[in-house]
């Protein structure tokens, strides 16, 4: 015989659970790992720290590592200084001895360090990766084209009465424009990333 709940004629006492419906079940299911994978509302914990070895203590400046890192630039700078020193010496000797026949041989002497500069430059280009080589070639192409336009345009001004352009200015103009092209192309690549 079932007893009815007072005031509820159709509900019997055994049919109604005495357990609180708001309380969680005794065993809640475990969420799989991918349930809240991208939720910004769940706080995650940082991974445990891994003890890395400290860097070795020693002198801050290591001349040998500096030489290894900047070897090509140092060699190129020494070759340029040698070229400029020999060039100044050859020009001084040729101007002081303009009557002698051997002045032409002295004028050829700066070609030796100039050849060393060219050899170092080509060697450093061959050691670059594809991206750096592309930037160098584009900068040289810009320098060649811009120097050609500038010198050709200046030739028209010479016809109009401007002073004649000395040919020794062409190489410094080309080197300056090559540097400008390098800076512009490097900035363009860095800003594109």
- pLDDT over 60 (residue 123): yes
* Joined tokens for residue 71: 């070897």
Specify the pLDDT at position 125: 85
- The helix (run of H) or strand (run of E) holding residue 2 is none
Say which residue, 68 or 129, is predicted with more confidence.
Answer: 129
- pLDDT over 80 (residue 96): yes
How many Å apart are CA 120 and CA 112, to the nearest integer?
Answer: 13
Which one-letter DSSP state was computed for residue 5? E
How many Å apart are CA 173 and CA 167, to the nearest integer?
Answer: 10
How many Å apart are CA 76 and CA 124, to the nearest integer?
Answer: 9
Q: What is the mean pLDDT of residues 123-129?
A: 86
Say which residue, 16 or 27, is predicted with more confidence.
Answer: 27
Contacts for 82 with CB less than 8 Å, ≥ 6 apart:
113, 116
Average pLDDT score over the chain: 80
Per residue in 133-190, pLDDT (tens digit) is 899 999 999 999 999 999 999 988 988 888 988 887 888 899 899 999 999 998 888 8
Say which residue, 177 or 46, is predicted with more confidence.
Answer: 177
- pLDDT over 60 (residue 122): yes
Q: What is the mean pLDDT of residues 108-136?
A: 89
């Amino acid at each position: 015989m079932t007893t009815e709940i007072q005031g509820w004629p159709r509900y019997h006492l055994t049919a109604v659970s005495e357990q609180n419906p708001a309380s969680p079940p005794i065993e809640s299911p475990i969420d799989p790992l991918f349930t809240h994978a991208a939720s910004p509302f769940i706080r995650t914990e940082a991974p445990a720290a891994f003890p890395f070895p400290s860097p070795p203590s020693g002198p801050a400046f290591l001349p040998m590592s500096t030489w290894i890192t900047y070897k090509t630039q140092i060699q190129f700078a020494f070759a340029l200084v040698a070229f400029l020193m020999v060039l100044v010496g050859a020009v001084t000797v040729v101007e002081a001895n303009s009557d002698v026949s051997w002045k032409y041989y002295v004028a050829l002497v700066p070609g030796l360090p100039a050849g060393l500069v060219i050899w170092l430059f080509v060697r450093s280009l061959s050691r670059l990766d594809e991206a750096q080589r592309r930037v160098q070639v584009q900068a040289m192409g810009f320098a060649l084209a811009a120097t050609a336009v500038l010198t050709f345009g200046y030739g028209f001004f010479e016809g109009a009465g401007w002073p004649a352009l000395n040919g020794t200015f062409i190489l410094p103009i080309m080197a300056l424009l090559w540097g400008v092209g390098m800076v512009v192309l490097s900035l363009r690549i860095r800003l594109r990333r």
